[in-house]
Structure 1
Amino acid sequence: MLQEFKDFIAKGNVMDMAVGIIIGAAFTAIVTSLVSDLINPIISLFTGGIDFSGLGIRLSEGEDGAIFAYGNFIMAIINFLIIAWVVFMLVKMVNRVKESATRDEDVAEEVPTGPSEKDLLMDIRELLKK
């Protein structure tokens, strides 16, 4: 059973998935910081600093009563939309860079190679001899 587990872990798919999860977690931290530290403050300038997270309806009396906190849900939706937009823009940028790199490789391969300068000079010399 231990050998089967080692074989399972050593498979490429499992290792690729593990690397993807680790990179994804680091990327999540970057995107979250970008949204919360850079984009949300700019949006707050235009919306007057509105924060929906405090909105809710008290369902029972007293300080410890249940609250239907729909404001947190609204803020989660807004943050999701902002994060989805940022990820979309990042993926679009990465795809553009990849496309540009492959286009440059294709252009480099299509450049026809002509006679060298030495070949041209030898041809001119031959023509002048005649």
Structure 2
Amino acid sequence: MWKEFKSFAMKGNVLDLAVAVVIGAAFGKIVTSLVADIIMPLIGLISGGIDLKELSFGVGKAEVKYGLFLQTVVDFFIISFSIFMVVKLSSRFRRKETVKVEVVETPAPAPEVVLLTEIRDLLRTDKQRESGMQGN
């Protein structure tokens, strides 16, 4: 069982996934900081000093903090847009790399094949002439 787990864990895809998760988590923190510390204060300034995090209303003894939800939605859209742009940029570079196409020439057919093809074409032509004459 240990050998199976070791071979599974050492496959390239699993290691790539682990690296992607770690980088993704760090990227998420960077974008969250961008949103919370730069973008949202600017939006608050433009909207007259409104801080989305502080928006809430009370229902009985409960407090519904819909501002935090709106903040999370904005975070999600900015993070997803950022990831979209990274994927789009990386796919553009990949396409440029894969554009290199090698042209392979097909070998010339053997002389026997050429001769047989000519005979076939002549027989077709004769057959078409005969059927055309019978129609007249």
The bucket for the TM-score relative to the shorter chain is 0.5 to 0.7
Distance 2:87 2:6 in 1: 30
2:3 is matched with 6
Cα distance per residue 1:97-116 (max 9 Å; x no partner): 0001111x22xx45xxxxxx
* Alignment-mate amino acid for residue 41 of structure 1: I
SS at match of 1:11: helix
TM, length-normalised to structure 2: 0.57
Q: Which has the higher contact order (CA 8 A, sep 6+)?
A: 1
Which of the residues 8, 22, 26 maps onto 1:25?
22
* Alignment-mate amino acid for residue 77 of structure 2: L
Structure 1 unaligned runs (5+)?
Answer: 111-130
Distance 2:5 2:30 in 1: 35
RMSD: 2.9
Larger radius of gyration: 2
SS at match of 2:81: helix
1:56 is matched with 56
Structure 2 unaligned runs (5+)?
Answer: 104-136
| Count of residue pairs brought into register by the alignment | 100
Distance 1:24 1:76 in 2: 20
Deviation at 1:71, TM superposition (A): 1.0
SS at match of 1:67: strand
TM, length-normalised to structure 1: 0.59
SS at match of 1:58: strand
2:77 is matched with 81
Aligned-residue sequence identity (percent) comes to 24
